[in-house]
Amino acid sequence: MTVAADADAAAANADARPCLTVVRPGLFATIQDLGRFGYQELGMPVAGALDPLALRLANALAGNPPGTAGLEIALLGPVLRVDAGSVRVAAAGPLAMTLERPGQAPEVLAPHRSHTLRRGDLLRLGAVEGAAVACLAVAGGFALEPVLGSLSTYVRAGVGPLGGRPLADGDRLPLGRGEAPAGPDVELPQPPDYGTGPLRVVLGPQEDRFTEAAVATFLSAPYRVGKEADRMGLRLEGPALEHRGTADIPSDGLVTGSVQVPGSGQPILLLNDHQTAGGYAKIATVISADLPRAGRLRPGDALSFRAVAVEEAEAIRRRQEQAIAAWIQAIRPARPAGGIDLEALYAENLISGTVDIVNGGSDLPLA
């Protein structure tokens, strides 16, 4: 066989692999897992899903390990064609989805549950409403080569799958499975609760570079996400924070959630694609349990901050992990759209007692 024939055969085999084909790329969809760890000392950001909670829940619904790479969808999602026998997908986050199947009327699909699609189906991922991003997981993940141990995409340096770029027309995303797993589709009984109120922070590491009035303002004043907002960070608009002296410090390490304050006095909340070192004083760091909330913020969104101690931050994270485990444990077979699942209905404890009206309405247990 000639070299040209070998190349043609390899191309044919690649085309035959089960995949999702990108019919339309959307505005900004990238492949992300939970991050690329261990390389920040070399200047490589962690990257990874802005909303790791959504990725973990989507993976649980798809039957994957929590760190399996999925699609992170910002603003408006892509249109994907199923070029596989079947595939199971699951979205977490406020994502509009529509299934188009030949010969049938379009069907609206709900997030926070899995859906089994067939060859030739078109999955239209629409607007993300109420958050910056949503996540889509596929059962078995994507059969792509990791870069430095991760499938996260860092667009600024072109690192990751697909050459480190967002989805483009005609991309073929090879699937880890040729068929959807056996068994019914599943759902979360209710969407996850991200919490409300101020983002919680641990003050420092350069709290002493700010006046007492600046720290008090930071912890009491409302801020708003400005127009300059992306995966690297969010420029906040609100009362300026006064430094003791200059804003500059000898460059030191940064982490996701660091709140830098340059000379303008306007805070910058750093997200997953942040640089690994910087020379502006940092007034505080958002605690890890609140990073999913921070990653969901959009331009124009309002936010504020509240200080907690390190020990409280650790306790909050432990409680969050317990809640995530409970949500995953509560995943159940999905009820049919527009219908009643009698088996699920019979399995519910619908009646726990009766009311004795004659004797003043006291509860009488059935057993």
**Residue 339 pLDDT > 70, yes or no?**
no
Average pLDDT, the chain: 90
Average pLDDT over residues 249-264: 95
Partner residues linked to 362 by β-bridges: 356
Specify if 332 maps to a domain.
no
pLDDT for 15 beyond 80? no
Q: Identify the pLDDT of residue 16.
A: 78
Instruction: Determine the residue type at 227.
Output: K
Local confidence band at 337 (pLDDT 50, 70, 90 cut-offs): low
The Cα–Cα gap between 122 and 82 comes to 7
Last residue within a domain, chosen from 186, 212, 238 = 186
Pure H helices in the chain: 3-16, 52-62, 212-218, 291-295, 310-329, 342-347
Q: What is the pLDDT of residue 335?
A: 82
**Residue 346 has what pLDDT?**
53
Answer yes or no: do 56 and 166 share one domain. Answer: yes
Structural domains counted in the chain? 3
The C-alpha atoms of residue 217 and residue 240 are separated, in whole angstroms, by 9
The pTM of this model reads 0.87
Tell me which residue has tokens 């969104």: 301
Confidence of residue 108 (pLDDT cuts 50, 70, 90): very high
**What does the pLDDT look like over 200-221, one tens digit per residue?**
999 999 999 999 999 999 999 9
pLDDT digits (tens, 9 = 90+) for 143-178: 999 999 999 999 999 999 999 999 999 999 999 999
Query: Do 173 and 55 fall within a single domain?
Result: yes
- Digit-coded pLDDT (tens) for 281-306: 999 999 999 999 999 999 999 999 99
Containing domain of residue 8, as a range? 3-186
Asked whether residue 327 is domain-assigned, the answer is no
pLDDT computed for residue 127 by the predictor: 96
